[in-house]
Structures are given as structure tokens and as C-alpha cells.
Chains A and B, each alone.
Chain A
Amino acid sequence: MDHITGSQEQAAGTELPGIPITLTINGRKRELSVAPWVTLLDLLRERLDLTGSKKGCDHGQCGACTVLVDGKRINSCLKLAVAYDGAEITTIEGLAQGETLHPLQQAFIDRDAFQCGYCTPGQICSGVGLMNEGRASTRDEVRELMSGNICRCGAYTNITDAVMDVLEKEGAK
């Protein structure tokens, strides 16, 4: 599965006539023309300079590319951007309110939930998706429902702590 996919050079997707689509990304509406083979991840990173979402594996196996589409977490590396015409996309760049971090971003800092940080944007978007789903309340549930995000540095324990902190705060409200 280690083939060079060539998606980097194709990523800009400007060399061939594109398909017009509208995406609302982090609250901003964008009219774009995109070649059909451009993934949402490549569109975000290579064309829109939203490089927070990371390309770990490009095959759905790591979760580093996790973003929210209409509030639901998905792997942006396996999604063609054209298929999301009309959708609302939230990336790690769109979670904070001005200078105020999203509670889960703050919890990652407070709990030291990363080392190199490469998996972190995906982890945080995934954690927000998990909260939207409302299916996790125990540590076991958080661990299982965060299992789509691999952390090569092994920060799992602190990641679980961070997610639990926010879940508990939300629950207490």
C-alpha cells in the first residue's frame, strides 16, 4: 500500500477544468472549481492553505486528517472534495472563537495530551465529533471511540484524560 499516489502534484487540481462546488469552511463560504480526483484533504492543505489537517497515511488508517463535515467526523483523505458540494466543513483552524480556544484544545494543553503534535489536529476534531455523537461517557467508551486516531508518540492516556475532562464539564452543566 506504499504506492506513490501522485496526489500531491495533482492536488492543486488547477490544470484541468474543474467542477464548481460551494463549501462553507470554518464559517466562510467558498465558491471553488475542483478537479474530481482532488481529495478534501488535498484541497484544504494544498489549495486553501489550511494545513492544520495532517496527511499521516492517506489511506484512512490513522485519523490525522479528521475533519468535521456537517458536525460529523470523517477522514478527509478518503473523500473527494466534489462529493461534498454544499457541505459545512470544520477543521482544527475553525474551532477556536477568536483568541479563546475550544475547550478541548485547552484540555489538550492542560493535560499535556501530545508530544510531536502531528496527530493532534485530527485527535481534537475527532474528540469534538465524539462529543457531538454523544455515545461516550466512560473511559472505556472514550478509548474505543477515539480508536480511529493513531498517536505515534503514544499520548493516549493523556488524550483520554483531556476528552474525559471536557465530557465531565459538559455533563456537569
Chain B
Amino acid sequence: MQRIRLRYTKRGRLRFTSHRDFQRAFERALRRAEVPMAYSAGFTPHPKVSYANAAPTGTGSEAEYLEIALSDRRDPEALRTVLDASMPEGLDLVDAVEARTTEFTERLQASTWQLALDGVAPAAAEQAVRGFLAADSVEVQRQTKKGLRTFDARAAVASLDLGQESEPPGLDGTADAPCAILRLVVRHVTPAVRPDDVLSGLRVAADLAPPVPATVTRLAQGPLDEESGTVTDPFAPDRDAPSGAEALGTPSVASAPGGAA
């Protein structure tokens, strides 16, 4: 059995895909692409797919991760290409590695988010960010399945700053075009602190209330380099590790994708 890890996106209008919707679409794509999946045992066998930390519905993402188990070996990159062609545009498979290490989900320590605040002037956003970062803790509330919960949104934030791409209000006085873009790095903690919680935090700590809902996109997910405050590629250890197949003296590509199975 071979395990392959894939990175996928939720782009454009398909960011409204819920995690369940994605799962259904992905399993159908596996069937169309005739991927030799390993199945779970039991009365109704399921293809073995595991997902990590799915971004909330309505949130875009460049860095979602899943892992599949195959009954037959495939070249990760070739498999990625076939699967990508089989998925709707916007749910794109963008990277693949063979799983050669354990504890992949533990490596997903933090996420980088981009928050586009339409109608918010960069200067106002910058001030709010300063206020938020200056606080030791920022209590926010969120409605969960178990009721209204109160928790701290500040501690989990590794960094928060104004992105380069922000657009100031038009010089010709058309003030309706400004858009502040924030870059946020959040540690994955329990209970999870989500980008909307940080936005609530900006309101609580610094009275920032964007006129329209923010467009939120996950840019990266992976190990947090505390020094630089950046999130690094979680596939790097798999790429660096020796291939299990090579170690056994067999070629790493045992069969061509789509070949006679």
C-alpha cells in the first residue's frame, strides 16, 4: 500500500464549497480517474482518504491537505495531474508527495491567512492592527454548536500586518475603492482561533468594523518557523526522506498511471 499526500485549493466561486461537498466531489474524481484506491474493511467499504484542518465554507484556500491510500503504486506527480483534470476548476490539486514520514498532521502547526477588507482604508486597518497587537489578550465570542463561547483571540496570533497589496482610497476622491489587505499567521491551538475570530478581535480591541464581509484566503499551512514567523512547506520532510521503495531496491515508479491495473 502506498500513501500519497496532496495539496489542493478552494479558489474563486468554489470557495463556497463545504468540506462535505469537497469530499463527495473528490471521491467521484477518484472513480472517474480510475485511481486504484485502497478500501476500508467492513460492510460498506470506503476509499481511504484522510483530510486535515479543512478551511471553513466560504473561505478560499491555497493550502488544504489530504492523504490517500492506494492499492497499487503510482507516481505522485502523474497522479496529481490526472486527478486535477478530473476536478472542477477552482478545486485544483497543486502539489503531491509520497508519504515517507509519519505525523503529518502534527506538522500543520500554523496557517497564513490573507484577509481582504473591502471598503477599509489601509491606514485605519493599520491602526486597528496596532491596537490588537498591543493587547495581552483579546476576548471574543463565537456561536458554536455547544452555545456561545468566549475565548482569547490574541495569544494564538503569531503575526498580523498590513500587506503590500493594500489599495488606498482613490486620489481623485472616489473613496469607495479602498481595500486593506491583512496578512495573519495563526497557530493551530484548541479551541481553534479562526480568521473571523481575529476580525472580531479587531472590532473588540480597536473598533474596526468593515462595511462588507472580509474575503478570507488561506495562503499556507505547515510548520511555524518561530524565528522568522513564517509558515514553511509541510511536504519538505517527505521530499527529503529516502523513498521507501528505493530503500527496498525497487523503482519509485512501479507502474505508469492509468496503466493496466
User: Do A and B come from the same complex?
Assistant: no
Chain A residues with a Cβ under 8 A of chain B: none
Chain B residues with a Cβ under 8 A of chain A: none
